[in-house]
């Protein structure tokens, strides 16, 4: 009744097909992320070739493949990752291929990204700029125009003016002479 031999006169069953090989990923990630729990404070740089979930406080830079910043998390430092989801607080710049700012996040710093999404209600103070390779080393790069510099008062001709004028007081008339 149950045998591996085909019955006489019955066609043999075809051999089972080999499963197709899955495409290999460029970055090998472990199955479970590294977790910084809510009661943990880390001082220094975190570096991981896999995924990291931060629910605590990090005072330093974070480098990882994937990063999830939980609602109660606080990072004071720079973030470098392939994929970043921010639900908590970040004070520092973010450089990532994909950045998602969730409605509960509070980000104070510049973002350099390849793909960028912001949910309604998210707080973001800083500049964001697209880059084809946001994780590339830019140590030799000239400073960008995103930094705030106080405006210098001028006299209208590009030179700095040392004189201040109180407009609440009456001002004398200015005579303009024409050279003939």
> What is the biggest distance separating any 2 CA atoms in the chain, rounded to whole angstroms?
123
Please name which of 41, 79, 86, 40 lies closest in space to residue 63, comparing C-alpha atoms. Answer: 79
Note the pLDDT tens digit of each residue in 46-87.
Answer: 999 999 999 999 999 999 999 999 999 999 999 999 999 999
Where on the phi/psi map is residue 27: left (φ > 0), alpha (ψ -120 to 50), or beta?
A: beta
* DSSP symbol at 160: B
**Using only C-alpha atoms, what is the Rg of the chain?**
30
Q: Is residue 161 part of a domain?
A: no
Residue 168 in this model has a pLDDT that exceeds 80: no
Residue 164 domain-assigned (yes or no)? no
Q: Would residue 9 count as lying in a domain?
A: no
pLDDT-derived band at 4 (thresholds 50, 70, 90) equals: low
Long-range contact list for 103-111, CB < 8 A, 24+ apart?
104/71, 105/69, 110/146
Q: How many domains does the chain have?
A: 1
Look up tokens 């946001």; give the residue. Answer: 134
Query: Does pLDDT of 89 surpass 90?
Result: yes
pLDDT at 163: 47
Look up the domain containing 83 and give its range. Answer: 34-130
Are 144 and 129 a contacting pair, CB within 8 Å?
Answer: yes
Q: Is residue 57 part of a domain?
A: yes
Determine, yes or no, domain membership for 146: no
- For residue 24, tell me if it sits in a domain: no
**59, 77 Cβ separation under 8 angstroms:** yes
pTM for this prediction? 0.61
């Amino acid at each position: 009744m149950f045998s591996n031999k085909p019955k006489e006169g019955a066609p043999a069953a075809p051999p089972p097909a080999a499963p197709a090989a899955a495409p290999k990923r460029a970055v090998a990630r472990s199955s479970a992320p590294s977790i910084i729990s809510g009661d943990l404070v880390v001082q220094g740089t975190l570096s991981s070739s896999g995924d990291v979930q931060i629910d605590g406080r990090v005072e330093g830079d974070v480098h990882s493949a994937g990063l999830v910043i939980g609602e109660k998390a606080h990072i004071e430092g720079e973030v470098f990752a392939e994929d970043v989801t921010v639900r908590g607080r970040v004070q520092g710049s973010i450089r990532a291929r994909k950045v998602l700012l969730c409605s509960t996040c509070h980000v104070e710093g510049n973002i350099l990204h390849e793909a960028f999404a912001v949910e309604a209600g998210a707080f973001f103070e800083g500049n964001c700029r697209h880059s084809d390779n946001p994780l590339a080393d830019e140590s030799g790069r000239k400073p960008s125009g995103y930094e705030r510099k106080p405006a210098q008062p001028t006299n209208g001709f590009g030179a700095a003016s040392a004189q201040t004028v109180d407009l609440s007081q009456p001002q004398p008339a200015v005579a303009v002479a024409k050279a003939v």
